[in-house]
Amino acid sequence: MACRAPTLASAVQGVPELVRADLEALLLPAGDTAAWCDGLARLLAAPEIGRELATRARARVEEKFSARRVLPRHIALAGVVAAGIF
């Protein structure tokens, strides 16, 4: 996402929390080879779709997952954990 590359991913675990289907990535069922082939074919046949997904994915990284957004939350969490230990 940060490298502005089109993303194909399985919709498992926390992946749908990172990228939204058909907005920042093509989310595909895990283990569904036909769906993966179709997703890859879709990106190869219409490179503009991949460029749009990649552009929106980069914007999402900058908005939601940049160091300036994430680090303060990590520091706050570490403070809460440390307060509970000592």
Per-residue pLDDT band at 1 (split at 50, 70, 90): confident
21 located within any domain? yes
Give yes or no for a contact between 2 and 56, defined as CB atoms under 8 angstroms apart.
no
pLDDT at 86: 64
- Domain membership flag for residue 38: yes
Domain count, the chain: 1
pLDDT at 32 over 80: yes
Q: Encode pLDDT of 38-64 as tens digits.
A: 999 999 999 999 999 999 999 999 998
Q: Does residue 13 have a pLDDT over 90?
A: yes
Q: Which domain holds residue 20?
A: 8-85
Please give the DSSP secondary-structure letter assigned to residue 19: S
Give the span between the Cα atoms of 78 and 26, in whole angstroms.
34
Is 0.85 surpassed by the pTM of this model? no
The answer as to whether 28 is a domain residue is yes
Give a yes or no: residue 3 inside a domain: no
Percent of the chain with pLDDT over 70: 99
| Residue 2 is assigned to a structural domain of this protein | no
Q: Which pLDDT value is given to residue 71?
A: 92
In a domain, 70, yes or no: yes
